[in-house]
Structure 1
Amino acid sequence: MSSSVLVYTGRIGDHNDRGMKGAAIVGAALGRRLGIEPTVIGHPEPALNENWDVELAAALPGLKSLQVAHSAALSLGGSPVFAWPRCAAAIATLPNIAAQHPDAIVVWFDAHADLNTPENTTTGYLGGLALSASLGWWDSGLGAGLDPRNVVLGGTRDLDPAEQSHVDTGTIALASGPDMLTQLDQLISDRPVYFHLDCDVLDPGIMPTDYTVPHGLTLDDLTAVATRLARNPVIGIEIGEFEDHGDTEQARSQAERLVSALEPLLDANR
């Protein structure tokens, strides 16, 4: 399926340095599984743990670099797989999807909707503004163009009031609960998909992440989702919020389990 494995290890609105290390571990696991040498963009730097505007200014050079690399990978006609530290990477990647694949649907599997804006964020976390930037709800400086009708949230269960209102009004679709696969099937039909995976969509403890939100997916659930999405044309995959918590061997083992759970999707169209 993949023409490339991209790994971004630079600063990207981090609370800590663990996601930069984690992205490299996931990228290496993807490379082994697909038999592709990963292309690494950026380099780890000390986390700032600052407000979104400070973080964006610091991350912007790196985000521009990864946006160019991601756009080039998409233009080759394959389905690139991308590992990154934090959800803020989507500020750079999703405008590429909107530009090159305007018919594709972004399937956003994340415990959080990341639909806040600078005006309503309560945390100031850049990652919490990631999806809304690509929808054009605020100007990140990296473009937009994504249509809300081309977004489906999956497994999302920690929404702020403003985000919940977008779901309640039908502006953004959500597939969740026991009927998630049925809902997903109805929402995506046979459309091309771009899959965004934040590891905190899984139940706490399954993968090392910065956030823990109860009542998440199991790895079997994730495999079921991957199996369903693999029936559609796959534009690409992006994976983030996987951390190295200090035991590198354990992190490598967990990354292998994550990649195995995604196998049906990784094998799609090969």
Structure 2
Amino acid sequence: MTRPTAHTVFQGRVGDRNALGMAGAQAIGAALARQSSTVPVPFGTSQPALNAGWRTELAAARPALGQLQARIDAVPAGGAVSIAATGRCATLPVVARHHPGACILWLDAHGDLNTPETSGSGDLGGMALSGPAGLWKTGLGAGLCPGQIVLAGRRDLDPAERDLTQRHAIPVIPPGADMAAALRSAIAGPPLYVHLDCDALRPGIVPTEYAVEGGLSLDELNACARVIAEHRLLGLEIAEFQAAWKEGGRPVSPGPLLEALTPLLQA
């Protein structure tokens, strides 16, 4: 039996360099609403980017992120699968509280495992996974163990992140035609929570804040989605989709991206 879904759109500012990711989350939410009878619940307000250091960005985002966490916290009570469109991740501490043994599949060009001490740029987005894994205190909770994480699509890891993956034996699965088969083995067993940064795709497929050479095609993403759908899915969050290729540009539809994710959206 197909389980119900609860759709959430976080359209607030969390370390964004521009407002296109916030608008992108809104576009994904609208597309999901057209495809189903579930109306997304919005959180946060789109605002101009601060382009500041992690401390300033986190302080500005914390109130809205707290509201987002409260929303995600209420979803499991109804037996639903959480589907969220967001610019950055703040949901994992909630996932860890409800499902302490879950596997966190992090589909992203980057590791997002830096901390304020290891980050060379001070970019808050590059610390999105390390906080929930308890590597630094964000004020938004933790609860994950690094050993629960599977990194996939990864092709831009900083030295400190590489050391961390080796120390904790975190699987790092590169993009490519064999990625789906490698995923099947890496995620076998526990229930799954999936985070997709759209820069896991090859540059030029959809607009993203960061572009890293290599990456997945939509067909390869669909193959991965089919493998993931074989497992018990706790939730999916789609991040880093920008609404246009440049500010003031023509809107870009998230339709092809969501079509590639159909096996998960229908799981």
TM-score range, shorter chain: over 0.9
Query: Which residue number corresponds to residue 30 of structure 1?
Result: 32
Query: Which residue number corresponds to residue 109 of structure 2?
Result: 111
Query: Per-residue deviation at 1:196?
Result: 0.3
Query: Per-residue deviation at 1:95?
Result: 0.4
Q: Which stretch has the larger CA shift, 51-60 or 171-180? A: 171-180
1:13 has 2:15 as partner: yes
- Listed one character per residue, the Cα deviations across residues 82-124 of structure 1 (whole Å, up to 9, x for unaligned) are 0012x3xx2x200011110112111000000100000010111
1:195 has 2:194 as partner: yes
1:141 has 2:139 as partner: yes
- Listed one character per residue, the Cα deviations across residues 61-86 of structure 1 (whole Å, up to 9, x for unaligned) are 0110101011112332110100012x
Query: Which residue number corresponds to residue 264 of structure 2?
Result: 265
Q: Which stretch has the larger CA shift, 30-39 or 159-168? A: 30-39
1:177 & 1:259 partners in 2: Cα distance? 19
- Listed one character per residue, the Cα deviations across residues 34-68 of structure 1 (whole Å, up to 9, x for unaligned) are 33111111111111000000000000101101010
1:185 has 2:184 as partner: yes
Query: Which residue number corresponds to residue 74 of structure 2?
Result: 72
Q: Mark the runs of 5 or more structure 2 residues left unpaired by the alignment.
A: none
Letter of the 1:30 partner, please give it: L
For 2:104, what is the secondary structure of its paired residue?
strand
1:32 & 1:217 partners in 2: Cα distance? 26
Letter of the 1:212 partner, please give it: A
| Preserved contact between residue 175 and residue 181 of structure 1 (Cα < 8 Å) | no
Query: Which residue number corresponds to residue 124 of structure 1?
Result: 122
Query: Which residue number corresponds to residue 94 of structure 1?
Result: 92
Letter of the 2:139 partner, please give it: G
Letter of the 1:123 partner, please give it: S
Q: Mark the runs of 5 or more structure 1 residues left unpaired by the alignment.
A: none
Q: Which stretch has the larger CA shift, 104-113 or 237-246? A: 237-246
Query: Which residue number corresponds to residue 232 of structure 1?
Result: 231
1:115 & 1:213 partners in 2: Cα distance? 17
1:55 & 1:108 partners in 2: Cα distance? 22
2:249 & 2:43 partners in 1: Cα distance? 24
1:45 has 2:44 as partner: no
Query: Which residue number corresponds to residue 155 of structure 1?
Result: 153
Aligned length: 261
Letter of the 1:79 partner, please give it: V
| Preserved contact between residue 147 and residue 168 of structure 2 (Cα < 8 Å) | no
Q: Which stretch has the larger CA shift, 180-189 or 102-111? A: 180-189
Between structures 1 and 2, the one with greater helix share: 1
User: What TM-score does the superposition give when structure 1 sets the normalisation length?
Assistant: 0.93
Letter of the 1:17 partner, please give it: A
Letter of the 1:258 partner, please give it: L
| Preserved contact between residue 113 and residue 126 of structure 2 (Cα < 8 Å) | yes
Q: Which stretch has the larger CA shift, 201-210 or 65-74? A: 65-74
For 1:197, what is the secondary structure of its paired residue?
strand
Alignment partner for residue 84 of structure 1, among 69, 83, 86? 86
Letter of the 2:232 partner, please give it: P
Please identify runs of 4+ aligned residues in structure 1 that moved more than 6 A: none
For 1:134, what is the secondary structure of its paired residue?
coil
2:93 & 2:226 partners in 1: Cα distance? 26
1:104 & 1:117 partners in 2: Cα distance? 23
Query: Per-residue deviation at 1:150?
Result: 1.1
Query: Per-residue deviation at 1:263?
Result: 0.2
* Identity value in percent: 46
1:74 & 1:199 partners in 2: Cα distance? 26
